[in-house]
Chains A and B, each alone.
Chain A
Amino acid sequence: MRAASHISFGERVLRLFMPIVALAIAIGLWEAVVRYYELPPYILPSPTLVFETLKSDWGTLSESLLVTLRTTAIALLLAVIGGVLLALLFASSRLVELSLFPFAVILQVTPIIAIAPLLLIYLEPQTAVLVCAWIVAFFPILSNTALGLASVDRNLQELFQLYGANRWKTLFLLRVPAALPYFLGGLRIAGGLALIGAVVAEIAAGTGGRGSGLAYRIVESGYRLNVPRMFAALLLISLAGIAIFALLTLIQHLTLRRWHESALDRES
């Protein structure tokens, strides 16, 4: 963050350490409550036990983490390709937009958990999970990119008209760059949603064995009342979500920092 260079050292320390201190206190309280009341692990495991389980079950859990991350990444990639292509199609033809946009909205407003069982009948479980993650990640990219492509400064548009720019030049030199911040905003939302979609679909699928994701580990551990492992898997999903969000925020910042208002320091 460039803002950091403008704020005092004390403020920076405060910003960095306050969340860490607060988190440490919360975990400490949790640990203390579990020990004081001697709660059994199948009711509430202590944080230390969760970390120990994470370590001891790392083989299975890391494999599942990779599966979930792979599904999320592929779904996000396909959502980017599909969302951007469809947005470009919408931008070039009003007829296409009017006919296809309702479908996109229907897919978006219908809860994915309700679509998943149906997809599981028609598709292989792995494919169904991927499709679910894709459906939820697709819409923010489509709608944001379409909005961006339509939000071009009118005077700039007239300037392009004045110099006789053809459709392609107007698209690639004007509309695409103008849509970029909107697209990146959509991408950041879609990244989190792709993970949620993958997790929801895995739970709906409920199939186990090799090559199953973190959500399935949670379901499986639940059946066995292995609550510490449920927490460990949950922790990994949270961390994965945070990592995806951080990565996409970084991409957004690096892409826009030279010119976009969103990357400006408030202090400057």
Chain B
Amino acid sequence: MSAPAHAAASSDKPLAAFKGVGKTYPNGVTALEHLDFSIGRGEFLALLGPSGCGKSTALRLLAGLTGPTKGEIVRHSAGSHDVGFVFQEPTLMPWATVAQNVRLPLRLKNIEYQESRVQEALALVGLDDFRDAYPRELSGGMKMRVSIARALVTKPQLLLMDEPFAALDEISRFRLNDDLLALWRQLNCTVVFVTHSVFESVYLASRILMFTPRPGRVAAEFEIKAPEPRDGQFRTSPEYGAQCREISAALANVMADA
């Protein structure tokens, strides 16, 4: 386990910070307790943990979709809504074309110059040729690309992703992993990525926060050391294997303690 790491994060003010956050739902379930962590500018942060440990709740709190019952979330971004969100499902409007789906955030926020921005976002995910297709005509991986393009169309500082590739086959997932890393480097944004896959989190993240089972807290924190840019070679390298092994063991410990 690496030392508490804020190398990139603490160089300037963090983008957002959870301070003693707790979340208890009205039905009495406590999803999160004593949650403390901060998100550094430009980092790729993975929230890793078993299903139902409150990672998704943390993400929703960060997006402002729900409020904490304890503690506070401090945001230092320009606007509190300067956020893109990618759900576990593509969550596209089935009655609208790809372009109309991607345009949606701009319409809702009354932002102009829509067409060029829609075109740009579609080009980022490599779907220029599908702007007039309907979601049902696309494969699962392509739908997820549309969903990512929609999240990127407002050029958010913070991109939140809730197990976005969990439902995809491995080939699509690996491709989207690589494309996501390329986008992250190109756009210079901050990504918070929820996953239950050790392998995915080690491949993608610059830092991993491991959550305990419900109620969720941060049990451990890892810096991932990897050559840049990461690619297929990293996925088969001994460093990658060693870090996956270390984190899997830590996850097993966390699960055993619960």
Contacts and interface: CB of A to CB of B under 8 A. Distances in A.
A180 B63 CA distance: 30
Contacts of A161: 65
Interface in A162-217: 162-165, 169, 173-174, 177-178, 180
Q: Nearest 3 pairs between A and B by C-beta?
A: A163-B108, A155-B91, A165-B108
A120 B107 CA distance: 52
A162 B63 contact: yes
A20 B133 CA distance: 39
A162 B94 contact: no
A62 B94 CA distance: 44
Contacts of A264: 136
Nearest to B89: A155
B134 A164 contact: no
B94 A259 contact: yes
Interface residues of B, number: 23
A159 interface: yes
Summarize B's interface: helix, strand, loop or mixed: loop
20 contacts: A155-B89, A156-B93, A159-B85, A160-B108, A162-B65, A163-B81, A163-B104, A163-B154, A164-B108, A177-B93, A177-B96, A180-B95, A258-B134, A259-B94, A259-B95, A259-B135, A259-B136, A260-B94, A261-B136, A264-B136
A163 B42 CA distance: 22
A259 B134 contact: yes
B217 to A, nearest CB: 25
Contacts of B87: 155, 158-159
A153 interface: yes
Nearest to B92: A156
A100 B87 CA distance: 37
B122 interface: no
A2 to B, nearest CB: 13
Contacts of B94: 259-260
A161 B85 CA distance: 11
Interface in B42-88: 60, 63-65, 81, 83, 85, 87
B116 to A, nearest CB: 19
B137 to A, nearest CB: 9
Nearest to B87: A155
Interface string B95-138: 11000000011011100000000000000000000000011100
Nearest to B150: A159
B134 A163 contact: no
Given A160-B108, A177-B96, 13 more contacts: A156-B91, A162-B81, A162-B83, A163-B104, A165-B108, A169-B108, A173-B104, A173-B107, A178-B95, A180-B95, A259-B136, A260-B95, A261-B136
